[in-house]
Amino acid sequence: MPRSSVGWVAKVIAVTRKDIVSEFRTRYALNAILMFALVTLTVISFAVGALEPSKEIMAALFWIILFFAAMSGLAQVFIKEEESGTAMILKLSSEGTVIFFGKLFFNLILLSILAVLIIPLFIVLLKTSPANWGIFLTGVILGIIGLSGATTIIAAIVSKATVKGALFTVLSFPVLMPLLVAVIEITKVAFLGGGYKEVWPPMQLIITYDVVMITLSLLLFDFVWRQ
Amino acid sequence: MIKLEVENLAKWFGPRKVFENISFALTQGESIAIVGPNGSGKSTLLKLLIGFAFPTRGRVVFSDEGKKLDFDSYRRRLALVSPYPALYGSLTARENLDFFARVNGDLVTNEEIDQVLAQVGLEGRGEDFVAAYSSGMLQRLKYAVALLKDPSILMIDEPTSNLDEAGKKIISDLIESRRTKSLIIIATNEKEEYSLAEKLCRLGG
Amino acid sequence: MYYMWWKILIFLAMSGVIILAFATPSPMDPANSLGPADAYRIFYFHVPQSWVASLAFLISMFFSIRFLQTKNMKFDLKAVTANRLGLIFAILAAITGSIFAKTTWGEFWNWSEIREVSIFILLIIYGAYFALRSALPDPDNRATLSAVLSIIFAVSAIFLIFILPRVYPTFSQHPSDSVVDKTGKLTMGPMVSIIFFTSLATFTALFLWIYNLSLKVFKAAEENLLEDI
């Protein structure tokens, strides 16, 4: 049957779209991530809210919430494929790069929704706010790209393992450490009210990190996906 | 014409032998049934043929007109029907079919989807969510997904599992209709399914 | 027979190192040292252990890449074994480093000390690697996925250990950090250098010897099981 063919970008969009539609109807990952973030935020508010922690600590707390929320939900993109039994068919139906980017963008969207909801709550509950919003938001964006970029392949690895949830956190942590250190630094400066000059080194680090990790993941992805 | 050559294939998981000395050749238009009791390694052999597992010894080679095909080349023309759920429950049948075709690189029209649904006896059920499908319907939908790909290589693990008499008839007719266009590999432990293929490969001897 | 000589040599060298490490004057000038100068003797052992732990990791990464290229299980065995030994040496390095930290700086652990953080990360990486392996029952899967993980971890470790300190001068440096100073001359005296480099070589030889033995043991264990077939 002669058919019009679908370009690479359209295929990636198809994957992301499928995940979005499926997620919209079931809301598994989104619920997990949001609830986890909310609970962590609440616990933190109770524990340290009254003590008025320093701005530096606020920055770290913010990323602790995002990190653990990400850990609770980002592996879902691949785990659900294994659980629904569609993983094998999917592997036969597309190139690795299409799946990789499709899932990456989905996780990016998930984390963006999380950020949009958590940031106002964080500011309200902990009675704090960044002195420099530009730097703060840039940090959040870079951090989210790094979080989804570096963990996509880890999620794929974990989907084939037996213990999944806890394993994802254990495996992601060493990989994400450079990102977390750098992004917390940027957020600290944002809260304290510093300038772009101060955050340029960590930003450079994150951009390099994002590029390197995503490239590396792409190169290795086929090995994981073909199992 | 796609050709599959399997030479001296053996698979060991550490000290445990799954099978060895498997050799056969198939061209488009031919079919083989891999038979054996449960646990004899049929699914493992299929995985090896597809390329999702590595042989301990021997080779699996797909070629077209003498030229060897790598995974990304033959993948586009290979369709697998497996006993796992293999479909997205929160999507409708139509959405499933459209997605798998699209991600494979083909834009399919609604008519083509209707046509393939009719071929497996699911006409009119395109808008139902797959989660609501019975296991028999699910099995037939998997064939629909495979058909939509117009595969040169058709691999079926347990062709008529979950199917009632009517379903079995639909599927065997379907396989008949694909005989000339595809290279068909079936894995089964049901004697009645042996006749779906001309050649036989016995495991678990 | 030839092998015997290596074992004897290693034994003699290690004994020599241990004796001399305590018999000779401490490598640190008591005027410059924080805490007892004798504590710095641990330098003869701690640094080689760290070095071997990192070497093991690099070896494992190399074999992981070879495995992905060839799909030959023997490379998987080589990679795991290297990591197993590396873990042991990393634990040793962490312990000796901690002891040193306690006697000189007064605390067992310090988070802004980049070398301490590095060894901690290395331990976590080893832990995560083995956690993954134990969660994968299928041997093909296990070999492939842990190989991929090794490589990803190696790259992340490079970011952490080399690039991060350059970006963050707030990370303090190990006190007696440089073995070689700016002019390229060794900062250690001749006696100290001999003992140190011998120790380094001996620890490396020890590691390689144990590594070889382990490979043989694991291979034999596998083949033993094969005998029944």
Distances (CA, A) of B201 to B57, B58, B136, B189, C144: 18, 16, 27, 12, 29
DSSP single-letter state for residue C159:
I
Asked if residue A108 belongs to a domain, the reply is yes
Segments of chain A scoring below 50 in pLDDT:
none
Q: What was the pLDDT predicted at B201?
A: 82
| Confidence category of residue C87, pLDDT binned at 50, 70, 90 | very high
Q: Which residue of chain C is at minimal alpha-carbon distance from B56?
A: C72
| Confidence category of residue C176, pLDDT binned at 50, 70, 90 | very low
Domains of chain B: 1-77+182-205 (3.40.50.300)
Inter-chain touch B13–C139, beta carbons under 8 Å: yes
Inter-chain touch B104–A93, beta carbons under 8 Å: yes
Residue C186, C-beta contacts closer than 8 angstroms, at least 6 positions apart: C179, C180, C193
Residue A9, C-beta contacts closer than 8 angstroms, at least 6 positions apart: none
Inter-chain touch C225–B54, beta carbons under 8 Å: no
Q: Which two tokens stand for residue A58?
A: 């606020």
Domain that holds residue A103: 8-225
Q: What was the pLDDT predicted at C180?
A: 42
Asked if residue A159 belongs to a domain, the reply is yes
Please tell me if residue A12 touches chain C, with a CB cutoff of 8 Å. no
Rounded to an integer, what distance in angstroms lies between the CA atom of residue C7 and that of residue C16? 14
Query: Considering its fold, how many domains does chain A have in total?
Result: 1
Contact predicate C21/C44, CB 8 Å? yes
Rounded to an integer, what distance in angstroms lies between the CA atom of residue C15 and that of residue C27? 18
Asked if residue A1 belongs to a domain, the reply is no
Please tell me if residue B13 touches chain C, with a CB cutoff of 8 Å. yes
Please write the tens of the pLDDT for every residue from C64-79: 999 999 988 889 999 9
Which strands make up the sheet holding B153-157, listed edge to edge?
B78-81, B153-157, B183-188, B31-35, B199-202
Inter-chain touch C71–B54, beta carbons under 8 Å: yes
Q: Which residue of chain C is at minimal alpha-carbon distance from A170?
A: C128
Length of chain B: 205
CA atoms within 13 A on the CB side of B23: 5
Mutate which of C61, C65, C118, C155 to test chain A, going by most A C-beta atoms within 10 A? C155
- CB-nearest partner of C167 from A170, A202, A220: A202
Rounded to an integer, what distance in angstroms lies between the CA atom of residue A61 and that of residue A184? 9
Higher pLDDT, C203 or C227: C203
Distance from CA of C58 to the nearest CA of A (A): 16
Contact predicate B111/A11, CB 8 Å? no
**Which residues in chain A have their CB less than 8 angstroms from residue C149's CB?**
157, 171
Distances (CA, A) of C99 to C43, C46, C94: 11, 10, 9
Torsion over CA: A146, A147, A152, A157 (sign): positive
Rounded to 5°, angle at Cα A179 from A173 and A183 = 125
DSSP assignment of C119-142 equals HHHHHHHHHHHHHHHHT--SHHHH
Rounded to an integer, what distance in angstroms lies between the CA atom of residue C54 and that of residue C125? 12
| Confidence category of residue C165, pLDDT binned at 50, 70, 90 | low
Q: How much of chain C exceeds pLDDT 70, in percent?
A: 72
Distance from CA of B10 to the nearest CA of A (A): 18
Q: What was the pLDDT predicted at C64?
A: 94
Q: Locate tokens 């920055």: which residue? A: A59
Q: Is a pLDDT exceeding 50 seen at residue C80?
A: yes
SS3 A170: helix
b/e map of C5-17 (b: 16 or more CB within 10 Å)? eeeeebeebbebb
| Confidence category of residue B51, pLDDT binned at 50, 70, 90 | confident
Please write the tens of the pLDDT for every residue from C90-105: 999 888 888 877 776 6
Query: Quick one: how far is CA A42 from the chain centroid?
Result: 21
Q: Which residue of chain C is at minimal alpha-carbon distance from B16?
A: C226
Q: Which two tokens stand for residue B190?
A: 């049901």
Which amino acid type is present at position C167? V
Which of A3-7, B22-26, C146-150 is modeled with the greatest confidence?
A: C146-150
Distance from CA of C225 to the nearest CA of A (A): 25
**Which residues in chain C have their CB less than 8 angstroms from residue A176's CB?**
156
**Which residues in chain C have their CB less than 8 angstroms from residue A209's CB?**
159
Q: What was the pLDDT predicted at C184?
A: 43
Asked if residue A3 belongs to a domain, the reply is no
Contact predicate C105/C40, CB 8 Å? no
Asked if residue A174 belongs to a domain, the reply is yes
| Confidence category of residue C168, pLDDT binned at 50, 70, 90 | low
Asked if residue A131 belongs to a domain, the reply is yes
Q: Which two tokens stand for residue A25?
A: 């109807």
Global pTM? 0.86
C interface with A, Cβ–Cβ below 8 Å: 68, 121, 124-125, 127-128, 131-132, 135-137, 140-141, 144-145, 147-149, 151-153, 155-157, 159-160, 163-164, 167-168
**Which residues in chain C have their CB less than 8 angstroms from residue A161's CB?**
132, 135-136, 145
In this complex, the chains that touch C, judged by 3 or more CB pairs closer than 8 A, are A, B
**Which residues in chain C have their CB less than 8 angstroms from residue B51's CB?**
none
Asked if residue A2 belongs to a domain, the reply is no
SS3 A22: helix
Q: Indicate the average pLDDT of chain B.
A: 86
Please tell me if residue A1 touches chain C, with a CB cutoff of 8 Å. no
Mutate which of B13, B45, B54 to test chain C, going by most C C-beta atoms within 10 A? B54
Q: Based on the number of CB atoms within 10 Å of its own CB, is B84 exposed (0-12), middle (13-18) or buried (19 or more)?
A: middle
Rounded to an integer, what distance in angstroms lies between the CA atom of residue B109 and that of residue C108? 68
Q: What is the ipTM of this complex?
A: 0.89
Q: Which residue of chain B is at minimal alpha-carbon distance from A226?
A: B52
Q: What was the pLDDT predicted at C110?
A: 63
Q: Based on the number of CB atoms within 10 Å of its own CB, is B166 exposed (0-12), middle (13-18) or buried (19 or more)?
A: exposed
Inter-chain touch B13–C226, beta carbons under 8 Å: no
In this complex, the chains that touch B, judged by 3 or more CB pairs closer than 8 A, are A, C
b/e map of C206-215 (b: 16 or more CB within 10 Å)? bbbeebeebb
**Which residues in chain C have their CB less than 8 angstroms from residue B48's CB?**
none
Rounded to an integer, what distance in angstroms lies between the CA atom of residue C111 and that of residue C116? 7
Inter-chain touch A185–C168, beta carbons under 8 Å: yes
Asked if residue A133 belongs to a domain, the reply is yes
Please write the tens of the pLDDT for every residue from B59-116: 899 988 888 888 888 888 899 998 888 899 899 999 999 999 998 888 888 888 998 8
DSSP single-letter state for residue B192:
G
SS3 A5: strand
Residue C217, C-beta contacts closer than 8 angstroms, at least 6 positions apart: none
Torsion over CA: B75, B80, B82, B87 (sign): positive
Q: Which residue of chain C is at minimal alpha-carbon distance from A225?
A: C145
Mutate which of A175, A180, A185, A197 to test chain C, going by most C C-beta atoms within 10 A? A175
Distance from CA of B88 to the nearest CA of A (A): 7
Rounded to an integer, what distance in angstroms lies between the CA atom of residue C22 and that of residue C18? 7
Closest residue by Cα to residue B102 from A21, C228, C16: A21
Q: Which residue of chain A is at minimal alpha-carbon distance from C118?
A: A174
| Confidence category of residue C166, pLDDT binned at 50, 70, 90 | low
Q: What was the pLDDT predicted at C61?
A: 92
